[in-house]
Structure 1
Amino acid sequence: MAKHRAGRINEEFRREISSIIQSDLKDPRVGATMVSITNVNVTKDLRYAKVYVSIFGGDEEKKSTLDALKNSSGFIRREVGHRINLRYTPEIIFELDNSIEYGMHINELLAQMKVRKPNDNE
């Protein structure tokens, strides 16, 4: 039962934080790049929520956007507290998630291997 509740809370937080970043956050550093919330892990005591963010862009843009998200975590926490009715609103910790880029890199390597595939006759 607890696993189902934790999963629902994580998904609800992911949905609400994504909505807040897209529509309510006014920081120009965030609006310039594409930001995607890939995963949220809320602790069992609902004190902390680790939010994994995938940012599309260059290294400097990623750093700037991640800094902007970290600076606006208080605003995002307050908005999530208004939208989700829980006893505690967890402190939000943003972490950069490079899994999408890693997957694209692996696909590129596989495509290169397909092109370089030696003939079976050799």
Structure 2
Amino acid sequence: MTRRRAKAPSQRQLRVGEELRHALSRILARGGLRDPELTEANITVTEVRMSPDLKNATAFVVPFGGGDPKAMVAALRRAAPFFRAQLGREVELRYTPQVRFEADTSFDEAERIEALLSTPRVRHDLENAPSDENPDADANDDEQ
């Protein structure tokens, strides 16, 4: 069985995703949500990925200033029909996409990698690694 490579998103997918990200941010900033978990929540929409047919969108969100991302995502999923209706009014598209909300874990992953890089063993390896700035410098040192 061969594995299919995921295609990079098209310019249109990226552009529509960015427009939806801005629109979702405006909707969340305006408020007017009836869910008690969302009325006081500060939510950051970090990215929106569109399907190739532009009928489905995945919005990656994180609670601003900490908080429980699972409860927040559950509340956003309950309110997904409201967000779709609001997006239909804000963004001019032929089809208003179905929005699926997911917690953004990229910040946690970046923090984990930063912690790995700061461990003494890895820091020692990084300090002793040959410099990539001037590859000819090592060759010149050997000739002398």
TM-score by length of 2: 0.67
- Given candidates 73, 95, 100, the residue that maps to 1:88 is 95
Task: Find the residue that maps to 2:10 and give its secondary structure.
Answer: helix
Alignment of 1:48 onto 2:72: no
Q: What percentage of aligned pairs have identical amino acids?
A: 32
Task: Find the residue that maps to 1:85 and give its secondary structure.
Answer: coil
Structure 1 contact 54–100 (Cα < 8 Å) conserved: no
Alignment of 1:72 onto 2:79: yes
Task: Find the residue that maps to 2:94 and give its secondary structure.
Answer: coil
How many positions carry a matched residue from both structures?
A: 117
| Unmatched tracts of structure 2, length 5 or more | 1-8, 129-144
In 2, the alpha carbon distance for the partners of 1:32 and 1:102 equals 27
Greater Cα radius of gyration, structure 1 or 2: 2
Write the deviation string for residues 18-46 of structure 1: whole angstroms up to 9, x where unpaired: 22122225333135444221211112222
The corresponding residue for 1:38 is 46
Which letter maps to 1:50? T
- Given candidates 107, 112, 131, the residue that maps to 1:100 is 107
Structure 1 contact 10–42 (Cα < 8 Å) conserved: yes
Q: Which moved more, 1:82-91 or 1:45-54?
A: 45-54
TM-score by length of 1: 0.77
Q: Higher helix proportion, which one?
A: 1
Q: Higher strand proportion, which one?
A: 1
In 2, the alpha carbon distance for the partners of 1:78 and 1:94 equals 15
Change (3 A) 1:3 1:75: same
The corresponding residue for 2:21 is 14
Which letter maps to 2:54? L
Q: CA RMSD in A?
A: 2.9
Structure 2 contact 43–61 (Cα < 8 Å) conserved: yes
Alignment of 1:29 onto 2:21: no
Shift of 1:99: 0.8
In 2, the alpha carbon distance for the partners of 1:15 and 1:86 equals 15
Q: Which moved more, 1:61-70 or 1:81-90?
A: 61-70
